[in-house]
Amino acid sequence: MNWKTRIRYYIACLLPYGIRQRIQAHLARKRRKNAARLEARLEELRNLLIFCHPIDQVPAATGKLRLLQQGNTVLMHYFARCCEKHGLRYWLDYGTLLGAVRHGGFIPWDDDLDVSMMRPDFDRLLELVPSLFPEEEGFTHSMHAFLQIGYKGTPLNIDIYPYHFYKEPITPANKAKVDADVTRMKKQVVYIPPILNMSDAKVQATIREEILGGAPVPPESEQPGIFLSPAITFTKNTVLSYEDIFPLRTVSFEGIPFQAPNRMRSYLQFFYGDYMAYPPAVGYKHPSVEHMVKTLAFETAVNTFIDRYTPLS
């Protein structure tokens, strides 16, 4: 503690409590005003940046991050080919879908892949993972609230999220109830990566009991509603109509066609609001990936993966 701080400390100790409180309140107001002025200035700078350089024209990443993105693109393409071969439906989701619509590929600062599947396709994928992504060839996979597929010695990663069919179509009359049921189940879930307090079987049993009420899921011809597994606790409740997702359409990502939600722009607006605006912060999504990019020499492993799994033209 320097001498100026000591003087301020001793003076404050000698002041009556009421005066100290008024001083603290005054300083708090001053800090709030300064913060508001700073936020207003940052908003001006963001608007200037958008005016001078729209977000969809931001250049692609460079260096090791771009190599990581290229490796992830090859991983995504391999995953999509496996799904097509086995008749599995999937769609680009979250930042990957946003990147496809807004940038035609990766968001320049993104570092992983997000896709989603309906639970029947997801269950079939779980059965096929050991043969499609064999560990002896370097693949890694783990299942908790969702499935992760990666490649040993690299930050390559694809997250695969399960969605469920509801017992009837989603309407304005029942959407609030479904949302409340999902919220109630979420409160039972404790997920501290990579540990989930419920087994996957327990998650599904709880969904059948507490959200579906024991009712069977109707055939898709009746266009049942769709909801994200409540075990995915780190994102907003996602309760959608059948038409929001199906029929799937195609979107280009890094020059490769992939499956995407039917109403992809409405879907993005639901998650991100003004998805064509700059986010409050720009940077790596995952600190662990940032650390690996800065410290781990993974270039050889990623280049080997790209050479091995890029399809021959």
Grade residue 62 by pLDDT with cuts at 50, 70 and 90: very high
CA separation for the pair 204, 173 (Å, rounded): 25
160-178 residue pLDDT tens: 999 999 999 999 999 999 9
Q: Structure tokens of 47?
A: 């608007």
Question: What's CA 290's distance to the chain center, in Å?
Answer: 16
Q: Are 227 and 177 in contact (CB under 8 A)?
A: no
Confidence band for 190, pLDDT divided at 50, 70 and 90: confident
Res 49 pLDDT > 90: no
Q: Is the distance from CB of 89 to CB of 248 less than 8 angstroms?
A: yes
DSSP structure class, residue 215 = P
Q: Which residue has the higher pLDDT, 42 or 307?
A: 307
User: Hey, what are 304's tokens?
Assistant: 């080997």
Cβ distance 98 to 260 under 8 Å?
no
| Average model confidence (pLDDT) across the chain | 91
| pLDDT at res. 283 | 77
* pLDDT, tens digit (0-9, with 9 covering 90-100), for 205-232: 999 999 999 999 999 999 999 999 999 9
Q: How far apart are CA 75 and CA 69, in angstroms?
A: 10
pLDDT band for 11, please (50, 70, 90 cuts). Answer: low
Copy the structure tokens of residue 4. 């100026």
278-313: per-residue pLDDT in tens? 887 777 888 888 888 888 899 999 999 999 999 986
Please give the share of the chain, as a percent, with pLDDT higher than 70. 92
For residue 85, report the phi and psi dihedrals to the nearest 5 degrees.
-60, -35
| Residue percentage of the chain with pLDDT more than 90 | 68
Please write down the long-range contacts of 211-215, taking CB distance under 8 Å and 24 or more positions apart. Answer: 211/164, 211/166, 211/178, 211/181, 211/182, 211/185, 212/166, 212/167, 213/167, 215/167
Q: What is the pLDDT of residues 105-129, one digit of tens each?
A: 999 999 999 999 999 999 999 999 9
Q: What pLDDT shows up at residue 97?
A: 98
The pLDDT value recorded for residue 293 is 85
Residue 38 pLDDT greater than 70, yes or no: yes
